[in-house]
Amino acid sequence: MYKYRTALVLIFVVVAITAGASEQSQSSRSTVTTHESGSASPQVWVLPKQGPPTSSVSVQGAGFDPLTAIDIYFDSTVLASTTSDKNGAFGTGVITATGATVVHIQVPATALPGQHAITAQEHVGQESAQTSFLVATDWSRYHFDLESSGLNPYENLLGASNVGNLAFRWAGCGDTYIDSSPAVVNGVVYIGTWSGEICALDANTGTLLWEVQTNNQAGSSPAVVNGIVYEGSDRLYALSASTGNPVWIFGAGQDEFWSSPAVADGIVYAASQFTNTIWALDANTGVVIWQQVLGVGGFFGSPAVANDIVYMGSPDNNVYAFNAKTGAIVWKYTTQGQVDSPPAVVDGVVYVGSFDGYLYALDANTGALIWKYAAVGSGGVQSGPAVANGVVYVGSSAYGTGMFAVDAKTGTLIWQALTAYPVPGSPSVANGVVYVGVDGNDGTVYALDPNTGAILWQHATGRYVDSSPVVVNGVLYVGSGGGAVQAFSLPGQQMTEKSKPPD
């Protein structure tokens, strides 16, 4: 009897162990099934999530098979490879036995505006994960960058081969006159009007998103940085980019800000009309950091900022360079006329026009004259120069003289494009095309060949164009004296160009 009980116990134990092993096996299969079904699926993250072509993007992933080779795709092209660590992660920045560290890719220069796919795919295994990246370029202030070069180096959709097909897209923020130049950030167009409105419009449709009424004309061109719109009018306004609600407002309403602000390293630089003052304000609070009072007021030009120096033209006939942190004058160069032309600073040279009729090239560190070109006679140069590929493009305020292209190193004339009316606005350059408007009754906007000045496209907006054109994400935006900001694009063009992920 005892033997039988022992045998029964052994049978029970064997059955229990077998059942436990079977349950454990089922549990393992359940874990694998869960992994494959998605609750513990591989994931991939990118930072930043949007940017222009050529952006550097860091890629991280988790939930992959351990110690496995992984390819990183942008759309259907492999741009990087890495190996997951023992936990199935990569790109974490932690050096492991497999060498898996931070993974970077560069967005192709040919990536068109719109949503694209970034995919992490095991080279041999079956696991993969995908996220999206928005290819989009911001034109966040007057003349594109802090140096006021006027060049958008990222444009790849609109160029010399197709600019002749540009068609009217929309008009918005109607007004009697707009000479403010648009800023385009995160799919929104910001612009000021002579009726004192500061407008935010959908960049794709022109739909008004919000509007803020100031107490005077808003002829300044807005700067949009870190979610704040900075715009000059009777005072200097800092508004929420998403709502238009005021963050801070500087000034007592007894002055005017026609100069377009520049924002660098948390400081806003702007010049006021009647108090003859250059201001440096804290970008978050509006608190004064420094100020420089000059002898003559009436500032129109926008400051340029490069290498901790603020460059500004003045109605007292001078071009100034200020220490960006203290406001101390580093140097000044005296011309023979008022300097309303916003300077451009490229490759250590300041390019600026004067109402004495000359275009100047000055050493950015010392203010020493490199060359000057006699663009016009009594009409003067109010236009801000654009600089691209070793050429300076600038307009003349004299009738019948038009646009000039000058060698940036020597000041030698390359070509002149005659227009019947003055060109007080600043030209812009993008993807091998020069864009400029004229101050005539029909307000024509031109697209010119940068090598010859030949007209590639033109459109009459209705009335004077003093606004500097903006070309970004395949769309041309410009303010018109006819009373609106207008947008032009290729026929049937969609802002969300889709691209295929890997098969």
pLDDT at 443: 83
Confidence at 10, pLDDT banded by 50, 70, 90: very low
Report phi then psi at 450, rounded to 5: -70, -20
| Whether the predicted pLDDT of 342 surpasses 80 | yes
Report phi then psi at 183, rounded to 5: -115, 140
Length reported for the chain: 503
Confidence at 258, pLDDT banded by 50, 70, 90: confident
Confidence at 489, pLDDT banded by 50, 70, 90: very high
Distance CA 376, CA 383 (A): 12
The 10s digit of each residue's pLDDT in 65-108 is 999 999 999 999 999 999 998 889 999 877 666 665 789 999 99
Q: Which H/E stretch holds residue 469?
A: none
Is residue 100 within 8 Å of 68, Cβ to Cβ?
A: no
DSSP 181: P
Confidence at 285, pLDDT banded by 50, 70, 90: very high
Q: Which residues contact 18 (CB under 8 A, 6 or more apart)?
A: none
The 10s digit of each residue's pLDDT in 124-182 is 878 999 999 999 999 999 999 999 999 999 999 999 999 999 999 999 987 768 888 99
| CA angle centred on 184, ends 181 and 187, rounded to 5° | 150
Residue 3, token pair as written in the block:
């033997």
Distance CA 97, CA 86 (A): 9
Picking from 240, 239, 228, 198, the residue whose alpha carbon sits closest to that of residue 215 is: 198
pTM: 0.88
Residue 100, token pair as written in the block:
């898996």
pLDDT at 376: 66
The 10s digit of each residue's pLDDT in 459-477 is 988 788 888 999 999 999 9
In one-letter notation, the amino acid at residue 198 is: I
Distance CA 326, CA 347 (A): 24
Q: Which residues contact 133 (CB under 8 A, 6 or more apart)?
A: 46, 49, 50, 51, 57, 74, 107, 115, 116, 117, 118
DSSP 307: T
Helix %, strand %, coil % of the chain (to 5): 10, 40, 50
In one-letter notation, the amino acid at residue 277 is: T
Task: Enumerate domains of the chain plus CATH numbers.
Answer: 43-135 (2.60.40.1930), 151-489 (2.130.10.10)
Question: Which stretch, 55-59, 92-96, 481-485, has highest mean pLDDT?
Answer: 55-59
pLDDT at 102: 85
| Whether the predicted pLDDT of 356 surpasses 80 | yes
Confidence at 312, pLDDT banded by 50, 70, 90: very high
Picking from 178, 94, 214, 139, the residue whose alpha carbon sits closest to that of residue 471 is: 139
More reliable by pLDDT, 230 or 497: 230
Picking from 387, 403, 385, 386, the residue whose alpha carbon sits closest to that of residue 395 is: 403
Distance CA 185, CA 237 (A): 18
Confidence at 30, pLDDT banded by 50, 70, 90: very low
The 10s digit of each residue's pLDDT in 177-226 is 888 899 999 999 999 998 899 999 999 999 999 999 998 888 889 999 99
